[in-house]
Amino acid sequence: MVTVKEAKQKILENVKVLPAHIVEIGNALGHVLATDISAPLALPSFRQSSMDGYAVIHSDITETATVLKLEGESKAGQTSTQVLRSGSAMRIFTGAPVPDGATAVIMQENTSAENGSVMIQEFPVPEGKNVRNIGQQIQQGAVALEKGTFLSPGSIGFLQGMDVREANVYKKPKIGLLITGDELLHKGDSLVHGKIFESNSAMLAAALQQEGIADFEIKYAADDLESTINGLNELAESNDVVLASGGISVGDYDFVGKAVAALGAETVFYKVRQKPGKPLLFAKKDDKLFFALPGNPASSLVCYYEYVLPALRIMSGRKDPFLTTLKMPAKYAYSFNGERDEFLKGLIVNGEVIPLDGQESFALRSFAIANAIIYLPLTQNVVNAGDLVEVHLLPG
| Domain range summary for the chain, segments of one domain joined by + | 4-19+172-315, 20-43+136-170, 48-132, 325-393
Q: What per-residue confidence (pLDDT) applies to 332?
A: 96
CA distance 306 to 309: 7
**Rounded CA separation 220/202 (Å):** 13
CB 358 within 8 A of CB 365: yes
Angle at 51 between CA 50 and CA 57, to 5 degrees: 90
The helix (run of H) or strand (run of E) holding residue 37 is strand 37-38
d(CA 77, CA 75): 6
Query: Minimal CA–CA distance to 201: which of 243, 160, 256?
Result: 243
DSSP secondary structure of 310-360: HHHHHHTT-S--SPPEEEEEBSS-EE--SSSEEEEEEEEETTEEEEPS--S
Residues whose CB falls within 8 Å of the CB of residue 361, separated by 6 or more in sequence, listed in order: 275, 276, 277, 294, 296, 297, 298, 299
- Strand-pair partners of 245: 179, 293
Helix (H, G, I), strand (E, B) or coil at 6: helix
User: Beta-carbon neighbour count of residue 339 at 10 Å?
Assistant: 7
> What helix, strand, coil percent values describe the chain, rounded to 5?
20, 35, 45
| Rounded Cα–Cα distance for residues 134 and 235 (Å) | 53
User: Which helix (H) or strand (E) covers residue 392, if one does?
Assistant: strand 388-393
Whether the bond into 97 is cis, omega within 30 of 0: no
Digits of tens for pLDDT over the chain (396 positions)? 999 999 999 999 999 999 999 999 999 999 999 999 999 999 999 999 999 999 999 999 999 899 999 999 999 999 988 999 999 999 999 999 999 999 999 999 999 999 999 999 999 999 999 999 999 999 999 999 999 999 999 999 999 999 999 999 999 999 999 999 877 877 887 888 888 788 899 999 999 999 999 999 999 998 889 999 999 999 999 999 999 998 787 666 578 999 999 999 999 999 999 999 999 999 999 999 999 999 999 999 999 999 999 999 999 999 999 999 999 999 999 999 999 999 999 999 999 999 999 999 988 999 999 999 999 999 999 999 999 999 999 998
Closest by CA to 353, choosing from 340, 370, 368, 378, is: 370
CATH of domain 48-132: 2.170.190.11
pLDDT given at position 185: 75
Assign a CATH topology to domain 4-19+172-315.
Molybdenum Cofactor Biosythetic Enzyme; Chain A (3.40.980)
Output phi, psi for 312, to 5 deg.
-65, -35
Task: Report the pLDDT value the prediction gives residue 252, as an integer from 0 to 100.
Answer: 62
Measured between alpha carbons, how far is residue 71 from residues 83, 234, 357 in Å? Answer: 10, 75, 71
Alpha-helix runs per DSSP H in the chain: 4-14, 153-160, 200-210, 225-238, 256-262, 297-303, 309-315, 365-369
Q: Measuring CA to CA, which residue among 323, 328, 327 is closest to residue 304? A: 323
Q: Please tell me the predicted confidence (pLDDT) of residue 183.
A: 75
Q: Superfamily assignment of 20-43+136-170 in CATH?
A: Molybdopterin biosynthesis moea protein, domain 2 (3.90.105.10)
Number of neighbours of residue 214 by Cβ within 10 angstroms: 11
One-letter amino acid of 378: L
Phi then psi for 325, rounded to 5 degrees?
Answer: -115, 135
Q: Which of the four CATH numbers 2.40.40.20, 3.40.1280.10, 2.40.340.10, 1.20.120.450 does domain 325-393 have?
A: 2.40.340.10
